[in-house]
Amino acid sequence: MKLALIGFGQAGGKIVDEFLAYDSAIDTSFVEAAIAVNSATTDLQGLDHVPQKNRVLIGQARVKGHGVGADNELGAEVTEADIDEIQGAIDRIPVHEIDAFLIVAGMGGGTGSGGAPVLARHLNRIYTEPVYGLGVLPGTDEGGIYTLNAARSFKTFVHEVDNLLVFDNDAWRSAGESVGSGYDRINREIVERFGLLFAAGEVGHGDHVAESVVDSSEIINTLGNGNGNGNGNGVSTIGYASETVESESDGLLSSFRSETEFDEGTATNRMTSLVRKSTLGRLTLPADAASADRGLVVATGPPEHLNRKGVERGRQWLEDETGSMEIRGGDYPLPGEDEVGAIVLLSGVTDVPRIDQLQQVAIEAQETTENVRARAQDDFASLVDTGGELDALF
């Protein structure tokens, strides 16, 4: 499917940058346009792929290009004030050629966390195309303010978008990695999963006609349709699993194999177990698959290793697992690749322990912050209080 990507804040911009690198490395282009919005000049300068003219600096009057310092209320305010600047960049996109907007943001900071929901509301008011969000949750070790920001942003963002796709940094961090290299690796993981899904809905592999290619409308129907007012179709998470196979260009063995020798049973069993692995393994946002409302299974890999029966079995398994009748399935053929994979999109998940935990910690952080503020005010008052015996200068 064709997307207009908008990266909000530092994390959002870096992930969109990575999407652009991925999009040009594969031969199915799903990025129609990419914009980066930030209140920090240096973050915009650090991007490699987003075109210069599509980098929008907001909040200059308030923060002079220095960012909002993890204050997401300020992030929302400066976005509101400078929405015309962002609209100016969006006006250059041929919106009639896109299937959806995707706003990408880290939810723990200030600019993306506060600004992304404001932009989602704005876009949903103006355009009929669906507006999706890709929200990144902070690690649990980042501290109270990031958790509080993320919980408040999540609560707001989810109602302003047609679906909120979520990636949890906490579930994907590895011990012993520096923050910088950790994010680079995580960003590649993000882009591989979401990129494969969006590219699947944009198949253009010439004469390789798959048995049942996934269409962008199937992704949109799974995520939730744009009805012009956002209106929350809930939260989505993605699973992915793959296995190396021998591709047709891999030498003698395969060159002797004819169409009729295609091992239907192996391909079917492989795909069924990949769908299970993908659903029950590490999701972008860990969640109980049984709580999903809708789902989509996409089989990827060399067309000679994909069969309709495999997708159908995987789809049926997911139907049983979720108890949902709205599980779609299809192929994304990748000629010449040596991996067969299964992407599982679970939409409308409600059993998400990480969100419950995030909200709980955020409520505690909010209470602590209020108490500390109140105490600090009292302490300050008593610090300067002289019992009325000293006059102020003016």
Residue 224 labeled ligand binder? no
Rank residues 60 and 231 by Cβ distance to ligand GTP and give the closer one: 60
Instruction: Establish if 146 lies at the interface with ligand GTP (CB under 6 A).
Output: yes
Cβ 282 to ligand GTP, closest distance in Å? 15
* Residues of span 39-58 touching ligand GTP by CB under 6 A: 39-40, 43
Instruction: Establish if 186 lies at the interface with ligand GTP (CB under 6 A).
Output: yes
What are the distances in angstroms from CA 321 to CA 13, 16, 295, 316, 327?
Answer: 36, 33, 11, 9, 11
What are the distances in angstroms from CA 261 to CA 243, 244, 257?
Answer: 21, 20, 6
Instruction: Establish if 117 lies at the interface with ligand GTP (CB under 6 A).
Output: no
Cα separation of 92 and 277, whole Å? 42
Contact 69, 39 (CB under 8 A): no
Q: Which tokens belong to 353?
A: 């322990």
Could you say which of 4, 19, 104, 111 contacts ligand GTP (CB under 6 A)? 111
Residue 11 labeled ligand binder? yes
Could you say which of 2, 5, 7, 10 contacts ligand GTP (CB under 6 A)? 10
Residue 142 labeled ligand binder? yes
Cα separation of 85 and 306, whole Å? 46
Instruction: Establish if 195 lies at the interface with ligand GTP (CB under 6 A).
Output: no
Residue 69 labeled ligand binder? no
Q: Which helix (H) or strand (E) holds 200?
A: helix 179-200
Q: Which tokens belong to 233?
A: 């179709």
Cβ 232 to ligand GTP, closest distance in Å? 22
Residue 10 labeled ligand binder? yes
Instruction: Establish if 70 lies at the interface with ligand GTP (CB under 6 A).
Output: yes
Cα separation of 319 and 331, whole Å? 17
Cβ 190 to ligand GTP, closest distance in Å? 6
Instruction: Establish if 110 lies at the interface with ligand GTP (CB under 6 A).
Output: yes
* Residues of span 23-42 touching ligand GTP by CB under 6 A: 39-40
Residue 179 CB coordination number (10 Å): 10
Cα separation of 116 and 161, whole Å? 10
Strand, helix or coil for residue 233: coil
Cβ 248 to ligand GTP, closest distance in Å? 36
Rank residues 39 and 237 by Cβ distance to ligand GTP and give the closer one: 39
CA within 13 Å, CB half, 269: 4
Instruction: Establish if 144 lies at the interface with ligand GTP (CB under 6 A).
Output: no
Residue 67 labeled ligand binder? no
DSSP string of 247-258, one letter each residue: -TTS-HHHHT--
Strand, helix or coil for residue 117: helix
Residue 243 labeled ligand binder? no
Could you say which of 7, 133, 135, 138 contacts ligand GTP (CB under 6 A)? 138
Residue 376 labeled ligand binder? no
Q: Which residues pair with 32 in a beta bridge?
A: none
Residue 309 labeled ligand binder? no
Cβ 327 to ligand GTP, closest distance in Å? 29
Residue 30 CB coordination number (10 Å): 25
Cβ 182 to ligand GTP, closest distance in Å? 8
- Three-state secondary structure of 54-66: HEEECCHHHHCCE
Binding-site residue numbers for GTP are 10-14, 110-112, 142, 169, 187
The site for ligand GTP (CB under 6 A) is made up of 9-11, 14, 39-40, 43, 67-70, 106, 108-113, 136, 138-139, 142, 146, 169, 183, 186-187
